Structure 1
Amino acid sequence: MIIDKSWITLENRNSPDFINGLRNFIEIAKNHVDGRGKAYCPCRRCYNGCRQDLSIIYAHIHDHGFLLSYKTWNYHGEKYHNADDIEALFAPKTRATTTNDEMFNIIDDVMAEMNTNEESVDEDVANLDPEFDALFKELNTELYPGCSWMSSLNFLAKLMHIKVINKWTDSSFDQLLDFLRASFPKENRIPSSHYEAKKKLRKIGLGYQFIHVCINDCALFWKENKDMHNCPICNESRWVDRQTKGKKVPKKVLRYFPLTSRLRRRERDRVMEEMSRKMEEMRRLWERQHRHDP
């Protein structure tokens, strides 16, 4: 059901549209009260920081206005657009191999990328990059003793995914990791910091590259433009403070996630599937031709 929220921006809080919208909101809030019949108040004074009686919520919103930054009414039953994805990330699995499959695919992508960039590839498994050897080992390492449904590497990738889609700060993520490490058994494999987590994920291609961008989106300070201090199109400065003696801060940054290896893998799988289909057709044709041979 689509909820009409257009009324919350109306300046005239005595208008019929605002009053009708407010009444509809109160009807929604009735389904999300606590044991005392109180719900969170999203007025511009309470800021969803406390629960109030519905009559007080009505009066507060009418008098102070509705909190404009409250886009998703999660305190009143509405789910974030990615809520199902987050729930699916931590849905229990019956077998550890089920959660490991996706991570094996990721590592396979990275190794395919490395092999493509080499002139020759050694087929000897013993000569693989020791970091990848450690990652493959960690894929089969329990998050903590007795946790058979999720590996430590799989847990880390999903936790980082949640951080990104919810825009957590690095410091808040560090605090969460500290809490998890203290809450889980002492033999857990949870990283100690956001820096450590990023360092580990970069090894399997889950990192990203920072590229400075013109504040007006004219050009990227990349490749032939990487050493420029001003945009080649509008001549706008690249830096917040060009005269600073310390490390310069860019006005705008793009986070680039390389897709080459994954696209190459998809194309490879498509070609292999097509070859397999043609081989099957040839086999069936041969069988039909020789079915009645003596």
Structure 2
Amino acid sequence: MDKSWMKLSNRFCKAYMDGVSLFIDVAKHHLNEDGKTRCPCRNCLNVEYKKIDDVIADLYKYGISQSYQRWMYHGEVVDLSENVSNMSTMHNDEVLEEGDGLLEMLHDVGGQIPVGSGSIDDQDEGVESDHVQPGVAATTFDELLQ
């Protein structure tokens, strides 16, 4: 399906208007129980549900979101099988290799993450810090880094 119309700046040219018609034909088949669909305009960004006439008005007023290349909220099927197969062939040692710098970058950004049981009783009392004291989440995150 040609979506080049989505990049046109003139929202009143024939190509853009034809593209809006194409989109509306698709969107009409994906209405919720209130007769509304997600509005993909640059203002609503598929968060707002609106009646078809309001979606049309928004698409002309604001334009369609450039990032909405796959109309997944309006029934376009996204084939994830290629990504899943690529991920399934990846081995754990390929994710974080020693010396790849990722751990060092994380420590540069967040500082050293203390390792502990995560229990508040196990933490040193009286230690002042601008950072949140390590708890269960910090301990779990640190364990993931190792």
Regarding TM over 0.5, the answer is yes
Structure 2 equivalent of residue 61 of structure 1: 59
Structure 1 equivalent of residue 74 of structure 2: 76
Separation in 2, partners of 1:57, 1:29: 10
2:32 is paired with a residue of what secondary structure? coil
Say which one has the larger Rg: 1
> Quick one: higher RCO (CA 8 Å, sep 6+), 1 or 2?
2
1:211 CA displacement: 5.9
Count, aligned residues: 101
Question: Given the alignment of the two structures, is residue 207 of structure 1 paired with residue 88 of structure 2, yes or no?
Answer: no
**Amino acid across the alignment from 1:25:** F
Structure 2 equivalent of residue 22 of structure 1: 20
**Amino acid across the alignment from 1:23:** S
1:31 is paired with a residue of what secondary structure? coil
**Amino acid across the alignment from 2:104:** K
1:247 CA displacement: 3.1
Listed as ranges, the matches of 1:1-294 within 5 Å are 3-82=1-80, 85=81, 206-209=91-94, 210=96, 247-248=104-105
Structure 1 equivalent of residue 109 of structure 2: none
- Change in 2 beyond 3 A, CA 1:211/1:77: same
Separation in 1, partners of 2:79, 2:66: 18
Structure 2 unaligned runs (5+)? 107-146
1:208 is paired with a residue of what secondary structure? helix
Per-residue CA deviations over 1:28-66 (Å, capped at 9, x if unaligned) read 100001122111100011110021000000010111011
Separation in 1, partners of 2:74, 2:105: 44
Per-residue CA deviations over 1:239-288 (Å, capped at 9, x if unaligned) read 8xxxxxx9357xxxxxxxxxxxxxxxxxxxxxxxxxxxxxxxxxxxxxxx
Separation in 1, partners of 2:91, 2:20: 45
Identity %: 30
Structure 1 unaligned runs (5+)? 87-160, 166-204, 213-225, 227-237, 240-245, 250-294
Per-residue CA deviations over 1:106-146 (Å, capped at 9, x if unaligned) read xxxxxxxxxxxxxxxxxxxxxxxxxxxxxxxxxxxxxxxxx
TM-score w.r.t. the length of structure 1 is 0.31
Separation in 2, partners of 1:77, 1:27: 11
1:72 CA displacement: 1.1
Separation in 2, partners of 1:22, 1:53: 15
2:104 is paired with a residue of what secondary structure? coil
1:206 CA displacement: 3.1
Higher helix share: 1
1:62 is paired with a residue of what secondary structure? helix
1:70 CA displacement: 1.0
